[in-house]
Structure 1
């Protein structure tokens, strides 16, 4: 079992005019376990990049 830090982009803090920057988002970090039990249906996926259509960036609300 390995423990890793997981970053979550929770919400947008401010209206975005140009290219999005990290400070414009609320980001939370939590430690999660990579343990997957044999026979379970669990899957661990690592996302390297996310893309948000520029038209949608200021329509996101949580």
Structure 2
């Protein structure tokens, strides 16, 4: 992945993190809806991903939102 697309990808995931952090209602919903589910995404395994954030939220690791 080239540097510019990689940075854009990381920026998008960071933006999603900030969005979730501003929406406690969605965090609560994600904890209920995502818990116990298998999630998949086409992101490269070495890249951060929105699914990683959802899984951390579902697991109750809310510190992910404080970055």
TM-score when scaled to structure 1?
0.33
Larger radius of gyration: 1
More helix by share: 2
More strand by share: 1
TM-score when scaled to structure 2?
0.31
